[in-house]
Amino acid sequence: MGAEDGYFDKGSFLTGIDNNRIPHILVLGGINMGLITKASRMPSPGETLRGDSFYASPGGKGATQAVAASRLNSEVKMIGKVGNDIFAEILRENLKNNGVDITNIATDPNKSTGVGVIIVNSNSSQNHIIATYGANLECSKDQVEIVTNLISWADILVLQMEIPFDISIQAAMIAKEHGVTVILDPAPATKIPTSSYKHFDVITPNQTEAKLLTGITVHDKNSAKQAAKVLFKRGTPIVIIKIGEQGVYYLTKDESDFVPPFKVNAVDTTSAGDAFSGALAVCIAEKKPIKESIVFSSAAGAIAVTKLGVQDSMPYSTEIDALRNNNNL
């Protein structure tokens, strides 16, 4: 992309980060228990289909991205809500065991903990998910106040779409006022008011989300480029379109490019996007160049699909480095 396209704008919002300390990542978002079954296909209406296997895995997009960032040598604080039920303690304990600060996870006594029921196709490893968000949807001004209290600690604020969007917007505005970079993973796919894009520094939709947000069917590099331009013009400085097995297209004020995928044997694609987002937050906090950040994050997503589980599948730095070295990247 050249200057004639109007996207060259020198200067960066990625300033003020001390490279002598590890990244500080603040995550506001969903905390869910994943209940995963594998089957050869989706059942037809009224049909009971015999599954191949079942397992439970702590999840939620916010919590999983928090684990992803923590496993990549960052300090991570999680903000969110769970219910007063059997899943809540399991989810808290798993986050704690992965090095995530759980001090600011609240309990709603009147709602269930969020649950994701996931059917994974045994043949293609693609997944179908029904999410019941429960306590996540009760996030309120109390969580915004926590963001206000912690934002001076943070390098990056990571958001998704599993809590009320107005709460995320309020948190993003606070972060921007303090010069903290805001990353939005617009998942699950939900419409976003055009006026809201200016509150995010980075947005990372996949193909489904990009189509919902822009009306453009994203199926290759060229269509991803068109969708990215739409989102960029709405006011988000870095747009990253994830095209599944085809790779990643990105557009910034200074550059655009396509990053090809890492070739791996996928067994479960459930949390590839969360691994990508957690890794991206760490890379941006470390002020790595955007293309290097996306290569690293793509490797994280690729490793995640080779493992079963949600948070359990989040990779460590050594795994990412090994995959990149094997691919000379």
Q: What is the pLDDT of residue 7?
A: 35
Label residue 183 by pLDDT band (50, 70, 90). Answer: very high
Would you say residue 9 has pLDDT above 70? no
DSSP character for 143? H
Distances 15 to 21, 142, 232 between C-alpha atoms, Å: 14, 29, 21
Q: How many domains does the chain have?
A: 1
Question: Rounded mean pLDDT of the chain?
Answer: 92
Residue 116 is assigned to a structural domain of this protein:
no
Distance CA 56, CA 115 (A): 10
Residue 36 lies in a domain: no
Residue 3's pLDDT band (cuts 50, 70, 90): very low
Query: Whole-angstrom Cα distance, residue 293 to residue 16?
Result: 18
What does the pLDDT read at residue 118?
87
* Helices of type H across 52-206: 61-70, 86-97, 141-150, 165-177
The residue with greater pLDDT, 170 or 128, is: 170
Q: How far is CA 161 from the centre of its chain?
A: 10
> Which residues contact residue 8 at a Cβ distance below 8 angstroms, ignoring those fewer than 6 apart?
253, 254
Measure the CA–CA gap between 62 and 116, rounded to whole angstroms.
Answer: 13
Q: Which residue has the tokens 């006022």?
A: 177
CATH of the domain at 229: 3.40.1190.20
150 in a domain, yes or no? yes
The catalytic residue positions are 274
Domain range enclosing 262: 3-8+19-30+61-110+138-326
CA distance 228 to 170: 24
Q: What phi and psi values does residue 89 have, to the nearest 5 degrees? A: -70, -35
| Higher local confidence (pLDDT), 19 or 293 | 293
- The β-bridge partners of 55 are 36
Per residue in 186-211, pLDDT (tens digit) is: 999 999 999 999 999 999 999 999 99
Query: Could you report the per-residue pLDDT of 105-136, keeping only the tens digit for each?
Result: 999 999 999 998 989 898 887 888 888 999 99
In a domain, 243, yes or no: yes
> Can you tell me the mean pLDDT for 222-229?
97
User: What pLDDT shows up at residue 20?
Assistant: 64
CA atoms within 13 A on the CB side of 228: 29
* Tens digits of residue pLDDT in 16-27: 445 567 999 999
Of residues 118 and 10, which shows the higher confidence score? 118
Q: Which residues are 216's β-sheet partners?
A: none
Residue 129 inside a domain? The answer is no
Beta carbons of 297 and 280 less than 8 angstroms apart: yes
Query: Confidence band (pLDDT; 50, 70, 90) for 173?
Result: very high
Instruction: Flag whether 152 is in a domain.
Output: yes
Instruction: Please check whether residue 234 lies inside any domain of the structure.
Output: yes
User: Is residue 169 a part of any domain in this protein?
Assistant: yes
CA separation, residue 85 to residues 24, 64, 101, 156 (Å): 30, 20, 20, 31
